Amino acid sequence: MKKLKFGVIGFTGKLGKEVVNLFQEKGYKLVLKVNRKINEQLEKPDVIIECGLSNTVDQSIKLSEKLLVPIVVATTGLSPDQIKGLKHLSNYVPVILSSNYSFGIQVLLKLVEESSKKLKDWDVEISEVHHRFKKDKPSGTAKMIKDLVHRKDVQVNSSRLGNVQGEHTIKYGGLGEVLSISHSATSRKTFAEGILKSVNYILKKKKGLFSFKDVVENKK
Applying CB under 8 A, the residues found at the interface with a copy of itself are 102-105, 107-108, 110-111, 114-115, 118-119, 122-123, 125, 127, 129, 132, 155, 157, 159-165, 171-190, 193
Which residue, 45 or 197, has its beta carbon nearer to a copy of itself? 197
Q: Which residues contact 102 (CB under 8 A, 6 or more apart)?
A: 183, 185, 190, 191, 194
Measured CA angle at 65 (ends 32, 219), to 5 deg: 95
Q: Is 130 a catalytic residue?
A: yes
Measured CA angle at 93 (ends 78, 24), to 5 deg: 80
Among residues 2, 131, 134, 168, which one is catalytic? 134
Among residues 2, 14, 120, 130, which one is catalytic? 130
Q: How far is the CB of 93 from a copy of itself (least distance, A)?
A: 29
Q: How far is the CB of 111 from a copy of itself (least distance, A)?
A: 5
Which residue, 186 or 218, has its beta carbon nearer to a copy of itself? 186
φ/ψ bin of 145: left (φ > 0), alpha (ψ from -120 to 50), beta (otherwise):
alpha
Strands 167-174 and 208-210, sheet pairing: unpaired
Question: Which residues are known catalytic residues?
Answer: 130, 134
